[in-house]
Amino acid sequence: MNDTIRILQLSDTHFLEDGAEPEGAVAYNTDEAFDAVFRHIGEHYGEHYGEHYGEHDGEHDGEHDALDMVVVTGDVADHGRRPQYRKAAEAFSRFSVAVNVIPGNHDQDAVFTASMARPSVSTSRVIEVGAWAFLFVDSSAGNLVIDAAGRAVDPPEYADRLHSDGSLGTAEAAWIRDMASQAEADHVFIWVHHQPGCPVGMLNAEAYNAEWADLLGDLPTVRGVGAGHTHAPDTYEFMGRTVHVGPSLKNNFDLKKNTWLPPGYRAYTFGADGTVQSQLQLVDDERWPRRPFGSAMRALFDGELTFEELRAIAERKASQRA
């Protein structure tokens, strides 16, 4: 790898087995979304990425040729089932560069770990490259419980993990602190599913944010965070670091313009001097128009409506149209 490291981030891929219904409200076809994103990446990184689809388009600036790694920041599967991970692993194996994957709240710990690994797809916790150490954090670790054999496992009720807005827990927080302080690299970047300091009102994340505030205050080499979870791509500051939020393949939202967004990915450049730059890449297509969403959806993001209340409103409107 070069002194400058280039990484692409996918997030919230929410793969489904054929014929399965997506969890939650209206969703894109994630198989179609992945194919579109994969093609877009090939058009921009084809020479180094293993596929070439023709001339680069006008957005290509010549600075993103050498792709070093793809990172997937959680919610790999929509329901955490083995056939969904099988499809995800097959999709990620299409990349000719290394892919590293972490779990989200939709994933289930044991089946995720057992199902994702392929020769070019891994679930590594730490990767050091040049001046950088990349830490891959499980932001659902605090929801794990200790079973009779002393193992940390998912809680008995899947919903207890699914509906969490993040919990590191004592062991994961200590691991982050140890890895960041012991890394030989000059700079540390953290990949995680639940974003710390998220400004979206619908999240119940005060305790999770406090965990991160306590950590980042003691870890001066951490330069930034790459995350997902909200399906609302963004960048913002938290504890003096930029948090980069990647888009989803399932559905995306612009919370400033109150519109839906097409699927996409985020492209990162890590400099040897500790600088981090990222660029949001969205794949515009008539299948995913940037249409406005209504007041009920806005109220959901503001924390004024629950998913159940939003679903009831949608069902009532559908019955009235019928």
First and final C-alpha spacing in the chain: 58
Phi and psi dihedrals of 180, rounded to 5? -65, -35
Mean predicted confidence (pLDDT) in 84-95: 96
Q: Taking 90 as the threshold, does the pLDDT of residue 90 lie above it? A: yes
Give the closest residue to 9 by CA, choosing from 256, 235, 183, 196: 235
Domain ranges in the chain are 5-291, 295-322
Q: Taking 50 as the threshold, does the pLDDT of residue 53 lie above it? A: no
Phi and psi dihedrals of 161, rounded to 5? -85, -45
Q: Which residues contact 262 (CB under 8 A, 6 or more apart)?
A: 252, 282, 283, 284, 285, 287, 288, 290
Dump pLDDT digits (tens) for 95-145. 999 999 999 999 999 999 999 988 899 999 999 999 999 999 999 999 999
Dump pLDDT digits (tens) for 218-248. 999 999 999 999 999 999 999 999 999 999 9
Give the closest residue to 69 by CA, choosing from 113, 138, 124: 124
Say which residue, 63 or 322, is predicted with more confidence: 322
Q: Which amino acid is at 241?
A: R
Q: Taking 80 as the threshold, does the pLDDT of residue 20 lie above it? A: yes
Mean predicted confidence (pLDDT) in 306-318: 80
Task: Tell me the C-alpha distance between 7 and 84, whole Å.
Answer: 24
Q: Taking 90 as the threshold, does the pLDDT of residue 283 lie above it? A: yes
Mean predicted confidence (pLDDT) in 261-283: 97
Domain formed by 5-291, architecture = 4-Layer Sandwich (3.60)
pLDDT of residue 139: 98
Binned at pLDDT 50, 70 and 90, residue 320 comes out as confident
